[in-house]
A and B are shown apart, each in its own frame.
Chain A
Amino acid sequence: MSRAPEGALDGLIARTALGDRAAFEQLYLATRSKLFAVSLRIVRERPLAEEVLQDSFVNIWRRASDYAAAKSAPMTWMTAIVRNRSVDLVRRSREEPDVDDTLVANLVDEAAAPDREALARGEAHSLGKCLAELDAEQRQTIALAFFHGLTHSELAAHLRRPLGTVKTHVRRGLMRLRECLDRQGVRA
């Protein structure tokens, strides 16, 4: 599956807003596997991830005309819709959540080696740099939460740390991230 450039996705969303079914299908084809991966990481169960993708695209069809006002890149806008739906639907209790620690460990390396588009926007590079500035524990906690949608208590169980400590890692980690991104001019 080829990756449509962001500019092309913009056009497809605009045509979707006009009720153009063919454009909507192209939009789905161009983004489904990325967005399915985003959801599956969080909800872990395929049937649930399928439900998320379905709900999200019905939502994208209905809200396509709001997209222009969102002022985000197309993938950012759609990813947010999928992530939010995933977080809403994830329901299992996870005493010992099934997480991909390699992904989390590679986070900084990967984020520091961004793809060309993100590099052109200057965002990925800043994010990688800023994540590298965090304490190892803060970084790990934030990555676990982001990729796997873990709650505070799930994070605490997985990391075998007290709940309060985990909450502090998340809060301080995000605060430092924001300060760093502000310095880099990303203004998160």
Chain B
Amino acid sequence: MRLSRDAAQALAAEYVLGTLRGPARARFASLASRDAAVAEAMRRWETAFAPLAERLQPIEPPARVWRAIESRIAPEASRRASFWKPFGVVMGGLASVMLAFFLWLSLAPAPEPMFQAMLMSPDHTPRMVVAMFKPDSLRVKMMHPWKDMPGKALELWAIPKEGNPRSLGMVSNEAPETMVRVAENDSRLQDAKAFAVSLEPMGGSPTGQPTGPVLCSGAISAVRRT
């Protein structure tokens, strides 16, 4: 379906107003998903009409609505939350992730890391690699930084098999690589099964435990003692 600019404008207006109905409405919505100009016209009308919706007196919905929403998103939420228990490795997109990982490893200087972890965000985007090449430091390679986080900072945590996360230090979002100092046989890394990064105030969590959302995490892979 090819529409003139004026026709697309007129239909976008009636779509947003709600007078475009039935199959025509569905057709137009599908057109908007394929045509950026149509989507933009729609967005402009939504913005233009937005102040009208603001005028309505708020009405409290019953509590059962939230319970129903929670139960409908529950399986997804627990799947996403499972990155706190990163042994449930998700296979989706793993091939490209591993490729990027080994590409980086191949450029990394010998010797091989003693252990390593690929940290992914909930949408399975690889974000960073944490690896130990020397017993006194962790090398954090940023693969995919976040766009901007004004007033916020990234904090790296070791997740033990049992107990609370242990703070390892701050990680730069901008620098391609951050070295995190640790002690040899650092107790924070004992029994650690995963690393995670949370969003925290500048300078780090004020409580010693993650306070912001966990942005990415990953299981520590088999330790290769050299």
Assuming A1-B58, A33-B58, A170-B19, is B49 touching A19 (CB within 8 A)? Answer: no
Cβ-closest chain A residue relative to B80: A19
Structural contact, B213 and A18, CB atoms closer than 8 A: yes
Structural contact, B65 and A32, CB atoms closer than 8 A: yes
Structural contact, B53 and A38, CB atoms closer than 8 A: yes
Q: Compute how far the CA of A76 lies from the CA of B17 in the bound complex, rounded to whole angstroms.
A: 13
Residue among B62, B65, B77 having the largest count of chain A Cβ atoms under 10 Å: B65
Q: Which of A15, A33, A72 contacts B59 (CB 8 A)?
A: A33
Structural contact, B10 and A174, CB atoms closer than 8 A: yes
Q: Compute how far the CA of A33 lies from the CA of B17 in the bound complex, rounded to whole angstroms.
A: 21
Q: Compute how far the CA of A17 lies from the CA of B44 in the bound complex, rounded to whole angstroms.
A: 24
Structural contact, A123 and B16, CB atoms closer than 8 A: no
Q: Is A34 an interface residue (CB 8 A)?
A: yes
Q: Is the interface of A mostly helix, strand, loop or mixed?
A: helix
Contacts of A171 in B (CB 8 A): 10, 14
Q: Compute how far the CA of A172 lies from the CA of B59 in the bound complex, rounded to whole angstroms.
A: 33
Chain A 140-155 per-residue mask, 1 if CB under 8 angstroms from chain B, else 0: 0011011101111001
Assuming A15-B213, A54-B68, is B52 touching A170 (CB within 8 A)? Answer: no
Structural contact, A152 and B55, CB atoms closer than 8 A: no
Structural contact, A170 and B18, CB atoms closer than 8 A: no
Contacts of B76 in A (CB 8 A): 19, 61-62
Contacts of A18 in B (CB 8 A): 121-122, 213-215
Shortest CB distance A32–B (Å): 5
Assuming A19-B77, A76-B46, A123-B48, is B19 touching A58 (CB within 8 A)? Answer: no
Q: Compute how far the CA of A179 lies from the CA of B202 in the bound complex, rounded to whole angstroms.
A: 47
Contacts of B73 in A (CB 8 A): 24, 58, 61
Q: Which of A1-50 contact B (CB under 8 A)?
A: 1, 15, 17-21, 23-25, 28, 32-34, 36-38, 40-42, 49-50
**B binding-site residues for A, Cβ under 8 Å:** 9-10, 13-14, 16-19, 21, 25, 29, 43-62, 64-66, 68-69, 72-73, 76-77, 80-81, 121-123, 213-215
Chain A to chain B contacts (Cβ below 8 Å), 24 pairs: A18-B121, A18-B122, A19-B76, A19-B80, A19-B213, A23-B213, A37-B57, A38-B53, A40-B59, A42-B18, A50-B68, A53-B65, A57-B69, A72-B43, A87-B18, A111-B52, A118-B51, A127-B48, A145-B17, A174-B10, A186-B47, A187-B44, A188-B45, A188-B48
10 smallest A-B Cβ distances: which pairs? Answer: A19-B80, A188-B48, A124-B51, A33-B58, A19-B122, A36-B61, A174-B13, A20-B213, A37-B56, A37-B59
**A binding-site residues for B, Cβ under 8 Å:** 1, 15, 17-21, 23-25, 28, 32-34, 36-38, 40-42, 49-50, 53-54, 57-58, 61-62, 65, 70-73, 75-77, 79-80, 83-84, 87-88, 107, 110-111, 114-115, 118, 123-124, 127-128, 142-143, 145-147, 149-152, 155, 170-171, 174-175, 177-178, 181, 186-188
